[in-house]
């Protein structure tokens, strides 16, 4: 399988059975095995999803054509960079650099001023 663990696949199949997309029957040859089949509802949904996915792919390709650097390539690079240094670690480093106090470190008036600045800046904590 494509990087999918057996427990994840089992859980996904169980959910799809509960949603009426798949049915499970015992194998006639080996009672330890299950035969999984797609229901009519599952096949209908798959057909609609394939149509949607084709439209999404076409739209993404159109966006890539309008950009100087393909978004799909940029996202791949972003995922690699985040694997090396997660966003949470980047926020911690930025906090240490700018020494933005945590809420619990602020006095009540400081928290009010900070909240007011955030509202005035559209929710951003940047001044």
Per-residue pLDDT tens over the stretch 47-87: 999 999 999 999 999 999 999 888 888 888 999 999 999 99
Whether pLDDT at 98 is above 60: yes
The neighbouring-strand residues paired with 38 are: 22
Q: Are residues 86 and 54 in the same domain?
A: no
**Residue 83 and residue 58 in one domain:** no
- Kind and range of the H or E element at 37? strand 34-38
Of 46, 35, 45, 31, the closest CA to residue 13 belongs to: 35
Residues 4 and 26 placed together within one structural domain of the fold: yes
CATH code assigned at 45? 1.10.10.10
Mean per-residue pLDDT for 37-52?
95
Is residue 119 one of the residues assigned to a domain? no
> Quick one: residue 117, left, alpha or beta (phi over 0 = left, psi -120 to 50 = alpha)?
alpha
- Which one of 66, 85, 109 terminates a domain? 66
Does the global pTM surpass 0.95? no
pLDDT at 126 over 50: no
Q: Are 127 and 113 in contact (CB under 8 A)?
A: no
Domain with 75 in it: 67-101
Q: What is the mean pLDDT of residues 23-44?
A: 93
Take residue 30 and report the two structure tokens written for it. 């080996």
| CA dihedral (113, 118, 122, 126) positive or negative | positive
């Amino acid at each position: 399988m494509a990087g999918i663990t057996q427990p994840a696949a089992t859980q996904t199949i169980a959910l799809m059975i509960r949603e009426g997309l798949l049915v499970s029957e015992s194998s006639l040859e080996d009672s330890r095995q299950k035969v999984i089949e797609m229901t009519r509802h599952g096949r209908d949904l798959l057909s609609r999803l394939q149509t949607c996915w084709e439209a999404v792919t076409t739209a993404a390709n159109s966006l890539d054509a309008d950009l100087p650097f393909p978004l799909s390539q940029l996202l791949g690079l972003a995922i690699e960079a985040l694997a090396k240094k997660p966003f949470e670690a980047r926020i911690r480093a930025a906090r240490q650099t700018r020494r933005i106090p945590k809420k619990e470190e602020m006095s009540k008036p400081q928290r009010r001023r900070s909240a007011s600045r955030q509202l005035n800046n559209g929710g951003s904590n940047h001044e």
